[in-house]
Every structure is written in structure tokens, then in C-alpha cells.
Chains A and B, each alone.
Chain A
């Protein structure tokens, strides 16, 4: 049985009559990395703020490890670690003293655990320096450290790669994977598609506060989305007619020297190939293509018109 560590039920936020988050429901499984993807202003941060109790919930519920944050906030937050937007730290204290602030008030954080986390985020060399001397990347790492101190089983990171260099992003990704493998549910938000694709197991696409869809990243053989490209040497239209004659329901389109057929059945691919070859058409290549997350995201969130016209900041 799958255990859900975080459940959102019909979560809604209205501010001054404007609906920011609209009836949002999803569940995050134990040990998965779950992404919230959406353009800026889609309601990702508002959703995260509601989950961790920074802003009030207009309607709906948030359950963390089975505890409702509206009724039992203290219990629900015990095993949550989070960074909401940038990690803000006490500049006038050292990194270590900052960590001590949180170590003191969270359950069961030993001195060994603090040292372990410092080692993990690679801040040992500067941990006794004042935070005001830290670079953005160092602050980010200290932020990650404070979120991990009490070994949370729900880790929520809002735009976690902000300010990290490529090496830092790579390390973070690996570390989050390690945490997930040990049973931690990780929730990350971002508007950066490629990053989400690399990092997450599942991604919820959010637009205008609504859930558009949830995608599995590793297992994305969604039937409707698999297309087979037959690369043809010779007359493409003739080959197309041939296939349509064979099966009228088949969805075939021409594209240059390629015929694109929408199917996911492996047998029918072989059958189609056989028919083409028997009819004397030269098939020089067959390729199965699934839509990338990026294509889907843009498709889902586009405001009509050509893909290139979509006003979504993809890689800021």
C-alpha cells in the first residue's frame, strides 16, 4: 500500500475576492520527489505557504502524516522541514548559531546530527563565520541544513536551486534523491522545466491556481502521447495512403520525410512496418517519441496561439 505523507484536499485561497489557489487536491507519496510546476504567479508559493501555515487557508485541508494542520498544527509540523523562497537567516550570528536556533526548538536534534548536516552541505569551513559574510550559495546550503536538522519526512523546498551554481544544483539533486530513497517525501516548486524533469518523480502542473494535471516523469508512456515516427525513403504520401487504407481509424500525419503515427502498441508498430515493407516502401528508420515535459507544460499552459508566443518565462 502506498503511504501518503502529504495530502491536499480541495485547498483554496482567496485574497480580497480573488482566487489565488483554486480547489487544489493532490497527494504526495512516501519517498518520492514531487514537483510543483507552473509559471510565475500560478499559485505555487501560495500553496506552499498554506501547507506550512504561513498563510491562512480559505477552504480545504492539508494533512501531513495524517495530521490536519488546521486542527493540529504542532503535531503536523513536527516532521516537516522547509525553505520558503530564499532561506532568510540571522546575519548577525554565525552559521552554527543559526543552526542552533532551530536545533534547540526541534525534537531530538543531537550535536552529532548538527555536525553531520554541516558536513553534508559542505559548510564546515565557514560554519563559525557570521552569516553576513556568506555568499548566496552558502546561505542556500545553510538553509538546506536547517531544513534537514530534525530528519523530516516531508521536505518542502520552494525554488531550491535559486542561487546555486551548476555543481550545487547537481549535488542538491543527488542529495534529494538519496533522501527520497530513504523514505522522505520531497516537494519542490519551480518554473524551470528541465530542472523539474531531472529532479522529480512526479510533477503537478499548476496554472491560475488550478491543477492542470499530474505527470509521472520516469514512467511517461502515456498512451495518447506516444508517437511513432517512420522515416521513409521515397513517396511519403503514397505510404500514408497505404496505411490509412489498411486501418481507417489510424491517426497518421506527414512531416517531411516522416510519417507520424499515434500508437503505443508494440505489435501494431511491427505490423505497420511489415505492411510498408511488403508494399515496397523503404523504411529507413523507426523511432518512438514521447512528449517531453516541456512540450506538455507549454501545451497545457499556453494561452492559445503558437508555442513560441507563449508568454511563460521558461529559463530565467
Chain B
């Protein structure tokens, strides 16, 4: 009948709550805060004499590398130093300043802000069904002339919409703040990566930024599906939120511990951080590729949604 009205209702419920606005405000405040702090403390002189500065860094790194090799230090540490030295030498030779900040560079540097979005999306998604059970309002909703799956779908789409909206707002604010602070140019600006064969390569920052925006939508979808399932399985909202947050942190920790096992690539959490796969830097689990991870997330999302809708359809509501 009027399914869109169900969606409107869910949307209104989300935005009638104070916490939603706080969740939106927190990343914005952080972004502005960081830009202001950076502007106030950056030493302009260093930026202008960056080649000198970088040459010094290369020297220091070289010293540390010799030391590390002598002591047989951790391989990852040695790799990191070698890669840093190569990148910095390449930067000096090709005149690419790592200190030159633009709106795009700022967006790349601020990409970690998506952690907050993930966190808040978990809270909203794991609350949206369980809260109605906890408060008993679900009864007033299920006695309407709508099949249960339609009601659940409206909640899922509303949560997903909220997650996407939040991400878009944060992207926009980051770009705007970055632009106002450092100028809106820099579309052709490059950054350096170390490829698997040890070669230093140039990549466009703007490419990374857009790829990151794209993969975050995929990550958020999987995250919403997971929290949404937990929200439907647990009828207390505090338990659901707790379980969802715990699952997220425990999942990441377990993947870190099991990173060397073959089967870890088939787990949900090993594939939850797509942004590291964009340029293959700082990749924790080595065998993953972007298409593979996206496929795994898609399969998990479908399974989790199937469980959610089946359980919700059959549940006896005694709240």
C-alpha cells in the first residue's frame, strides 16, 4: 500500500532522537578541530625547505636501518624503513612534496574518520529493531495492514539511508573544511606508494579519495546488515548494541591474531576494511584483493539479511 510512508516514519524516528544529531556533530567537530589545529601549529618554514627536511629524514632512517639489520630486528620494521627511504628519495628526485596539503590531501588524511561513522551506524542499526521490542512499540507497528517483511525492510532501508547520508555529510564537510583551510586545488596531486616488487610509484590522491568513498558505502552496507541482524535477534536494545560493538572489536582483534591462517580471508572481519586494499599499503592480510573482499562481503550480507527476515517473520511478539 503505502510502503514509502513506513520509510518516512522510520526516518522521522531516527531524526527525532537527540543522539542522531550528536552522532552527526561529532565527526564534523573533529574535522574542523583538526584543520584549525593543523593550521595554527604548522611551521611554514619546514614546508618551504621540505627537501632539506626530507634529506635529513632519509639520513636518520638509513642510520636506523643499519642498526636494525645489525640487531636482526623485526622484518616488518626493516621493510617499513626501506620503503620510507625509497619513497623519500623518489620524492626529492621528482619534486613531490609530502607536506603540501590541499583539500584532497586533507580528505585522504582524514579517511580514518569513517571509524566514527561505523561506530555510530552500529549503534543506530542495532537499536532500530531491538528498541521497539524493548519498549513494546513494535506491537503498535505490527498490527498495521503491512506484512512483516515490509516493516522490516523499511527499517533496513532507513538505517542504510542514514549511514549513507552520514558518510556523504562527512565527505562534504571534509572537502569544504580542507578546501577552506588549504585551498580547493590539487586534483593532479600525487602521492607515493611502494608496490609489491619494492618499486616506488606515483598515484593520484583524488583517485584514492574517490575509491575510498566508494568502498566505504560497501563496508557500511555490510556493517548495517550485521548490526541489523543482531538488532533483530536480541530483543533488548542495550544487549543488541553491546553485542554489535563487541562483535566488531572482537572480530578485528581475532583477524589480527589469525592473519597468517589460510581461511582467515573467508571471515567477515578480514574483509571489513576495504580502504587498505585500494593501494595495497599497510595491508594486514596479504592475499586479499578488492574484488574478492567485495564478493565475500556481498555473500555475508545476503546471508545475514536472510536470517534477519526469516527470524522476524516467524517471531511471536509477546513484548
Report which A residues bind B (CB closer than 8 A).
15, 49, 52-56, 73-78, 80, 82, 84-93, 97, 101-102, 104-107, 146
CB pair A53 B143 closer than 8 Å: yes
User: Is A102 within 8 A of B144, CB to CB?
Assistant: yes
Judge whether A84 and B139 touch: CB under 8 Å.
yes
The distance in angstroms between the C-alpha atoms of A92 and B127, with both chains bound, is 14
A-B contact pairs, 29 of them (CB 8 A): A49-B318, A52-B142, A53-B143, A54-B139, A54-B317, A55-B316, A55-B317, A55-B318, A74-B146, A74-B147, A77-B143, A82-B143, A85-B139, A88-B136, A89-B140, A90-B137, A91-B135, A92-B17, A92-B18, A97-B12, A102-B140, A102-B144, A104-B8, A105-B9, A105-B146, A107-B1, A107-B2, A107-B145, A146-B140
Interface residues in B276-319 (C-beta closer than 8 Å to A): 314, 316-318
B137: chain A residues within 8 A (beta carbon): 88-90
B9 touches A101 (CB 8 A): yes
Hey, which chain B residues are within 8 Å of A97, CB to CB?
12, 16
Report whether B140 and A87 are in contact in the complex, using a CB–CB cutoff of 8 Å.
Answer: yes
Are the CB atoms of B139 and A92 closer together than 8 Å?
no
A238 to chain B, nearest CB (A): 63
Rounded to whole angstroms, the CA-CA distance of A288 and B2 in the bound complex is: 58
B16 touches A90 (CB 8 A): yes
**Binary interface profile of B, 138-161, with partner A (CB < 8 Å = 1, else 0)?**
011011111100000000000000
Q: A52-B143, A93-B13 provided; 14 other pairs, C-beta below 8 A?
A: A53-B143, A54-B316, A54-B318, A56-B314, A74-B145, A80-B143, A84-B143, A87-B140, A92-B17, A101-B9, A104-B2, A104-B9, A105-B2, A105-B144
Kindly list chain A residues whose C-beta atoms are within 8 Å of the C-beta of B318.
49, 54-55
Please state if A73 and B147 are interface contacts (CB–CB under 8 Å).
Answer: yes
Contact call B143/A54, Cβ cutoff below 8 A: yes
Nearest CB in chain B: distance from A313 CB, A: 21
Instruction: Tell whether, in the assembled complex, residue B142 and residue A54 are in contact, meaning their CB atoms are under 8 Å apart.
Output: yes
- B94 to chain A: which residues have CB within 8 Å? none
Contacts of A80 in B (CB 8 A): 143, 145
Within 8 A of A (CB), among B212-226: none
Q: Would you list which residues of chain B between 141 and 193 have a CB under 8 Å from chain A?
A: 142-147
In the complex, which residues of chain A have a beta carbon less than 8 angstroms from the beta carbon of B144? Answer: 77, 102, 105-106
Would you give the shortest CB distance from B11 to chain A, in whole angstroms?
Answer: 11
Residues of B within 8 A of A (CB): 1-2, 5-6, 8-9, 12-13, 16-18, 135-137, 139-140, 142-147, 314, 316-318
Contact A88 B6 (CB under 8 A): no
Do A105 and B139 touch (CB < 8 A)? no
Which chain B positions have C-beta within 8 A of A76? 145
CA distance A15 to B318 in the complex (A): 12
Nearest-neighbor residue (CB-CB) of B316 within chain A = A55
Whether B147 lies near A105 (C-beta < 8 A) is no
Nearest chain B CB to A69's CB is how many angstroms away?
Answer: 10
Chain A contacts of B317 at CB under 8 A? 49, 54-55
Minimum distance in angstroms from B28 CB to a CB of chain A: 23
Closest to A51 in B: B143
**CA separation between A86 and B1, bound complex, in Å?**
28
**Residues in chain A near residue B13, CB distance under 8 A:** 90, 93, 101
Residues of A within 8 A of B12 (CB): 97, 101
Alpha-carbon distance between A194 and B8 when the two chains are bound, in angstroms:
44
Q: Provide the bound-state CA to CA distance between A82 and B145, in Å.
A: 12
How far does the alpha carbon of A53 sit from the alpha carbon of B138 in the complex, in Å? 12
CB neighbours of B143 from chain A (8 A): 52-54, 77, 80, 82, 84
B169 to chain A, nearest CB (A): 22
Separation of A74 and B151 alpha carbons in the complex (Å): 12
> Which single residue of chain A is at the shortest CB-CB distance from B8?
A104
Closest approach, in angstroms, between the C-beta of B19 and any C-beta of chain A? 10
Q: How far, in angstroms, from A70 to B117 measured CA to CA in the complex? A: 41
Structural contact, B145 and A88, CB atoms closer than 8 A: no
B146: A residues at CB distance < 8 A: 74, 105
Query: Cα distance A87–B2 when bound, in Å?
Result: 24
Cα(A88)–Cα(B134), bound, Å: 10
Q: Name the residue on A nearest B136 (C-beta).
A: A88
